[in-house]
Structure formats: C-alpha cells, structure tokens
Structure 1
Amino acid sequence: MELSFIDKKIPAAGILQEVATGIFWLRMPLPFDLDHINLYLIEDNQAEQEGFALIDTGIGTQQTTDIWEKLLQTINKPITKVIVTHMHPDHIGMAGYLVEKFRIPFYMSHDEYFVGRAIAAGSRGASDWQDEQYLVRCGISTDDIATAKKNKKDSTGVGRVIKPIPLQYKRLKEGDTLAIGDNNWLVYIGRGHSPEHVCLYNAKTNILISGDHILLGISPNIGVYNTEPDANSLQQYLETLPQFMQLPENCLVLPSHKQPFYGLHTRVNELINHHHDHLDNLRDFCKKGKTIEQCLPVLFKRKLNSRNIFFAIAESFAHLNYLYFAGECSRELNAKGQFIFTLK
C-alpha cells in the first residue's frame, strides 16, 4: 500500500481538527527545528460525564499553557484522563498541569513514568564527570565539550519545561486494554527512542496512535546517551517495529509529528531499511577505525547546528553500538580516551 496523508487540513496551533469520528487532532508549537507536536483528544463520554481523553500534552512553557487555557474555554468540556506515550518534554510537559486542573487519572508505562520523574528532577548535585567522559569518548572536540559544559551550567535543565509530574499514575503494560468512551485500545510497547513507549491500537476503528515510534517523513531519534553508554537502543527499536506489521495495512496512523497517514506496513519497512542502510554504510566506513564523531557525515548529509549535533552524536553511537554488540566491530579506547570502532 502506498503512503498517503489523510484528506484533512493541518490545524493551526490550538485548533481542533476531527480526523475520525470522535477523535480530534491538535497541534502545539515547539521551540525546535521540529516546530510542532501532534496531540489527540478522544471523546470519552461516560454516563456521569462528557469529556475528552488526551494523548500527550505539549511542552511545559507559558506559550503552551496560554494555548491550553484558551482551548479549554472553547471546547467547554473537561479532560477525563491524560495518557502520555513517553517521557520526552514535548509529550509529558503539560501533564501535571492538566491532571492537577481536572483531578483526573494519569496513564503511562512504568519505565516512562519513573524516567520522566528522574529527568525532571535533574542531577540534584551529582558530579558531572561522567557527562564529560561520555563526550570525550564520542570524539567531541575540547572546545565543543567546553561549550556543552557552559551551556549546561547556564541552563536550568529539562525540568524547566516539564510541569510538576503527578505523584500517582496508572500503569500501562504491553497487551493491556484501555477503555476510552465506547472503544477499547490495545497497548503496544516500542523501545529504542525511549525506554517503554506506549502506542495504542483500536481494532474497531482501525486506528493506531503511534506517538514517536512510527513517524512519516522523519525517523525518530534512536540514540545512546550519557546516562547509559552501553545501551543497544537501535536493536531495541528494530525489535519492536515488526509487531506493527501484524496490524491491518490500511489502518489510520496518528503520529506525534508531521501528518496522520495510511500505509503502515510500507512505513515500517522504510524505517527498518533506513537503519540497515546506515549500518551498511558504517560497515564500509569503519574498515579503518573511526570515532563516533567521525561517523557523522556517513549518517547525516545536512549541516548540523549546535542544538542538533548532540542528538546526531547519540544516533551515531547507537548504530555503532549495534555493530559492536553484534560482534561485527571492536570498540576500544585510544590515547585520547575516545572510542574507536573498527570492523572485524
């Protein structure tokens, strides 16, 4: 089945666009190169109350808060439950605000909830020598490391764009069924982009809410970061993509970025092939030992700025760790403390 977009206008920030019966597409702005996130409101009418279940919440900024305040006055219905696919700030950022406002249940997977709590809390005084070691091992220059340290010192961290996370949550697990209104949504778990990413599928309406796990036009960032330098994130991602081939090919996919689309199987295969193409290129490039930073031009043809280079480094690390843990290349430290990956 060929990839195709739904025949619906992309909504402006804070405007609802119905994409299926009882399901509304909402966009919130982001202060990044990827300048938006898609949220979804699903009618959750119950005997005692009419309202909307919310999938993801937007980043926790004053701009997003203002949009939410205006929108809630417009729809004139309460939010009945907040469901967050994963712990990244653009998804969880406003969850605490909305849960507190409506005193409603908050749904996440176990790993996403507690990692979210941890990143919002910050380092709490822990030494940052391991952060610097991570950057050195990635092959980052001394000047760029100094800049990264300065930026971290000048920043209040991720917690500044995440409203206080609720102290209680309802756990979503693989294979669970979540009731929203008259429909049941089956929980699928994806890994690699985040620890335990929740996707939801409704067989009755043939709709998949894919979050960041399956996107059209871009690949989700699959990275190895300083918190777990021995992670095999790419293997986790590639292992949790094929399960979606079991769903109908013609299901409507509602992603967190870009546009809702049809052609699920085609897109899953494209994402798998995309990463295997990168791995093939790295196999050829690393016949002679290379640092993680030296591999960036193999994976990224666009110019990298100071904001996205660290995401690119993490993605390069993930692909090289995949080859390392598969036994295809060695990973050794050179005299500068940098990882050198060499094809065996």
Structure 2
Amino acid sequence: MSDVSETTAQERPAPTLSYPFEKGPEDGQAIDIAAGVKWLRMPLGGPLGFINVWAIAEEGGWAIVDTGMGGAETMHAWRDAFDGPLRKRPATRVFVTHMHPDHVGMAGWLTRKYDVPLWMSRLEYLSCRSLSADTGREAPSDALRFYRGAGWDEDSLETYRTRFGTFGKYMHVLPDSFHRLVDGQEMMIGDHRWRVVVGSGHSPEHACLHCPDLQLMISGDQVLPRISSNVSVFPTEPEADPLSEWLASLARIKSQVGDEVLVLPAHNDPFFGLHARIDHLISGHEQGLLRLQDLLREPKRAVDCFSALFRAKITPGLLGMATGESLAHLNCLIGRGLAARETDANGVAWYRATA
C-alpha cells in the first residue's frame, strides 16, 4: 500500500544530489548515521521494497521514528533489530511522521510491547483513527459518486467497492492516547535538541524532525530524493487543494532548514542537496500544471488528464493514485482561476482552461 508515486512527469533534469552511503542496511542490520542515530530498513511490498526507519539513542533505550507496515514480517524484522543492532535495549517512545500504514503500521505494536508513548501530530493521529474505522465497511455512495464523476467506468468502481475498507488491515490498532507534535516544537531526543517542521499536502500534518546540532532532517515522505510524494484529492474532501498546500510547505521548509543538512527520507537513500531537490519538486509540478492547462483547451475529465502529468502508463493498480493526483492538479488550477469545472447530466465532471 504505497503512498508515494514514481509516475510524476518532470521534464527538467534532476539535480545532482550527493549520497554519502554506498548502500543501505542489510536485513537485521543498522548503519550509524551520526552519534546516537541509526538507520534501519523494514520490509515493504511492491516496487519500493522497504521503508527507512530511524533509532535515536536516549537514556534507557531508543526513540523510534517511523515503524513500517503492520504485519508478521515487519514484527519479525523489529524483533531481529532489537536483538541485534539495537543491542537488546528497548524502545523509549515512538515518533510517527504521518498516518500512512508504512509509517504508522507497527506503532501500536511497538508502543504496547514496550509500554511507551506515541508521538504524532494531532491531524495525523485523528485521520488515522478515522480511516481505520472504515475497515470492513461497504464503499460509501459519496465515494462512488466522486470516482464516477472523475470518469471511472463500472469495472473500476466495482474494484473500488471490493477493496474499500482495507486501511486498518495494514496496521496494528493505535494506542488510545498520544503526545502531540506541533510545528516549531523543540524537544530533546537523546543528547540533542530536535525541532518539528510540519508539512502538508501529502498528508494532513506531516511532521519532519530537524536536528541543527547534528545537521540532520528526518523528512518522512515530505521530501524524497528520487520519487515524488503522492499528492491527492480524496472523496472525503473533494474540493481540497492539497497541491497548493504541498508546494507552500516545500517552500517553507526550504526557508527554515539549511541546505547543509543530511536528509533522512523514508524511501531511497539519505542525501545532501535539500534545497536543490525542493526546487526540482516545485518546478516539476509547476510544469505539470502548465501542461495540464494546455490540455484543457478542450474539456477533459480527470481520467483524461494522465498524459499531461505522468510518464508511466496508468495500470488499474495505479488508477486511484493517478486520479487523486490529477484532481489535485485540477483543483489547484481552479484555485488559481485558470480552470473551471462543469458537471454533466450523468454526474461526470468536465474541466476546461479559462486562461
């Protein structure tokens, strides 16, 4: 269940980033990133293969940042990690950057196993609880209307009905309480002070962790070196403009976090070159908006817009992600006054450029 995209088209050449580690940690192993900070990987199905997680030494054990997908395979991986590179020292607390299952999936298991608190932003915690509550439900009529309006055919809608309500199956139940992470908040984790830097767009209140002393930033999915975070509109908030939020968040992170940091992302490898990567991500999406605006010289549905935004063929397995991203770009153009939407008698939304 991936929450990042490898399909976003970006014509501008990628920036030259620096990767200080030749390879990532092997199964059951860890790499020392800085004094008291370890890099581990947890298994993850699909093309990404794994998710990076982080352990920060503090009195009595390890603060864990992100947890991997829920399930037996990841549970065994964590047991091997604590028995091996974490030297049988327990978790002291668990930090989660955001609510997607590959990040929060094992948080409930870890916090209960070690009887430690969960640290998470409020919107991420509550959104996760809300989505988990859909587990086992039938697909709501609002959601079916939403995707029908985007141009989905009946076969695609039937697939959605079949797959709806599986979010909670990828995670252990969250604890019933949490410690809130807030933008700008500073706290001691181990021997160093870390600051919370919140982004939005990929998820509601994504919490990065920045340590100026160590010149590190744990970026979660907010800034990734080789792939672009999925930024989507969902049926729960059809008028949302997450792309504008994401672009603004990236610009704000660039203004607040120095370019000297080693970025510790959830996917791919740690890298130097934060500001260049942010500029490239912003530019790529702005170019996509220009291509989309040009495509809308003739009215189009959301599913007709993939060619302007993605270089990869959109298979049925990617349809939901691609539709959400297309709608994010369309809503962004509407918010800028550059496009308009009209709904036909069948409930299908058609978009056209207005400038």
* TM-score, scaled to structure 1: 0.95
Q: Is the Cα contact below 8 Å between 1:8 and 1:19 reproduced in 2? A: no
Q: Does 1:179 align with 2:188?
A: yes
Residue of 274, 281, 285 corresponding to 1:271: 281
User: Distance in 2 between the 1:227 and 1:179 partners?
Assistant: 36
State which drifts further: 304-313 or 233-242: 304-313
The secondary structure found in structure 1 opposite 2:228 is coil
**What is the CA deviation profile of residues 76-124 of structure 1, one whole-angstrom value per residue up to 9, with x for unaligned ones?**
1111110000000000000010000111121000100100111112167
Q: For residue 304 of structure 1, what is the aligned residue in structure 2?
A: 314
Residue of 161, 164, 177 corresponding to 1:168: 177
User: Distance in 2 between the 1:296 and 1:2 partners?
Assistant: 28
User: Distance in 1 between the 2:29 and 2:273 partners?
Assistant: 26
User: Distance in 1 between the 2:117 and 2:130 partners?
Assistant: 20
Q: For residue 34 of structure 1, what is the aligned residue in structure 2?
A: 48
User: Distance in 2 between the 1:261 and 1:147 partners?
Assistant: 38
Which runs of no fewer than 5 residues in structure 1 stay unpaired? none
The secondary structure found in structure 1 opposite 2:129 is helix
The structure, 1 or 2, with the larger RCO (C-alpha pairs under 8 Å, 6+ apart) is: 2
**What is the CA deviation profile of residues 220-240 of structure 1, one whole-angstrom value per residue up to 9, with x for unaligned ones?**
000001111111000000111
User: Distance in 1 between the 2:162 and 2:243 partners?
Assistant: 30
User: Distance in 2 between the 1:134 and 1:103 partners?
Assistant: 41
Residue of 56, 63, 68 corresponding to 2:73: 63
Q: Does 1:142 align with 2:154?
A: yes
* Cα distance change, pair 306–13 in 1 and its aligned pair in 2 (3 A): farther
Aligned-residue sequence identity (percent) comes to: 36
Q: For residue 24 of structure 1, what is the aligned residue in structure 2?
A: 38
Q: Does 1:111 align with 2:123?
A: yes
Q: For residue 286 of structure 1, what is the aligned residue in structure 2?
A: 296
Residue of 213, 227, 232 corresponding to 2:222: 213
User: Distance in 2 between the 1:60 and 1:37 partners?
Assistant: 12
The secondary structure found in structure 2 opposite 1:273 is helix
The secondary structure found in structure 2 opposite 1:341 is strand
State which drifts further: 301-310 or 234-243: 301-310
The secondary structure found in structure 2 opposite 1:342 is strand
Q: 1:31: how far off?
A: 1.5
Q: Does 1:223 align with 2:235?
A: no
User: Distance in 2 between the 1:150 and 1:206 partners?
Assistant: 46
Q: 1:7: how far off?
A: 2.5
The secondary structure found in structure 1 opposite 2:226 is coil
Letter paired with 1:107: W
Q: For residue 122 of structure 1, what is the aligned residue in structure 2?
A: 134
Q: Does 1:252 align with 2:266?
A: no
The secondary structure found in structure 1 opposite 2:143 is helix
Which runs of no fewer than 5 residues in structure 2 stay unpaired? 1-14
Q: Is the Cα contact below 8 Å between 2:200 and 2:249 reproduced in 1? A: yes
* Cα distance change, pair 15–243 in 1 and its aligned pair in 2 (3 A): same
The secondary structure found in structure 2 opposite 1:289 is coil
**What is the CA deviation profile of residues 45-94 of structure 1, one whole-angstrom value per residue up to 9, with x for unaligned ones?**
x2xx2x11110000001111111122222221111110000000000000
The secondary structure found in structure 2 opposite 1:307 is helix
Q: Does 1:158 align with 2:167?
A: yes
Q: 1:206: how far off?
A: 1.0
Alignment: residue pair count: 337
User: Distance in 1 between the 2:345 and 2:54 partners?
Assistant: 51
The secondary structure found in structure 1 opposite 2:156 is helix
Q: Is the Cα contact below 8 Å between 1:80 and 1:102 reproduced in 2? A: yes
